[in-house]
Amino acid sequence: MNTPDTNKRIVAEYVHAFNQGDSVALRKLFTPDAVISGVLGWAEIERAIPVWRELHEAFAIELTIDELVAEGDLVAARYTERGKSVGSFRGGAVTGKSYELVAMEWFHLRAGKITRRWGARDSAAQSRQMGL
C-alpha cells in the first residue's frame, strides 16, 4: 500500500496528463482492469480515453486542483474545471463561450496505479454558461 501522499501525487499526475491530453501517460497511471465512472457512464481506460479526447476537442477542458484528500488507498479531489466551446460535442452547437464549474473525482489506487475513478461535475452549469 502506498502512502496517502504518494497516492495524492499519482492523482496530481493524472490531472496533469488529463489536461495535456496525454493518452500514453494516462494509460500508465491506470491498471489494465480499471473502471472509470462519470456522467457519461462507465468504461475501461481504452474506452474512456477517446471520450476524454472528444471532450478536450469540444471544450478545451482544464482541471485545476483545489483540494486533494487521501486516506489509505483512496483519494478525493475537488477541482475547478474551465473550458470553452471550441468544437462540437456529439453533434451539439459550438458557441465560443467559456465556462467554469466545480468537479469532483474519487480514486481508488492499488499498487501505485488507479484502479477505479468516479467523477461528478455540474454539467447543467456548463451548458448554461456556454449557451447550449
What's the domain range around 104?
A: 4-130
Average pLDDT rounded to a whole number, residues 84-106: 93
Number of domains in the chain: 1
CATH number at residue 111: 3.10.450.50
Q: What pLDDT sits at residue 127?
A: 87
pLDDT digits (tens, 9 = 90+) for 13-57: 999 999 999 999 999 999 999 999 987 778 899 999 999 999 999
52, 121 Cβ separation under 8 angstroms: no
d(CA 101, CA 77): 14
Element (H, E) at 70: strand 62-71
Q: What is the pTM of this model?
A: 0.93
Is the confidence at residue 1, as pLDDT, over 80? no
Q: What pLDDT sits at residue 78?
A: 97
pLDDT digits (tens, 9 = 90+) for 101-130: 999 999 999 999 999 999 999 888 998 998
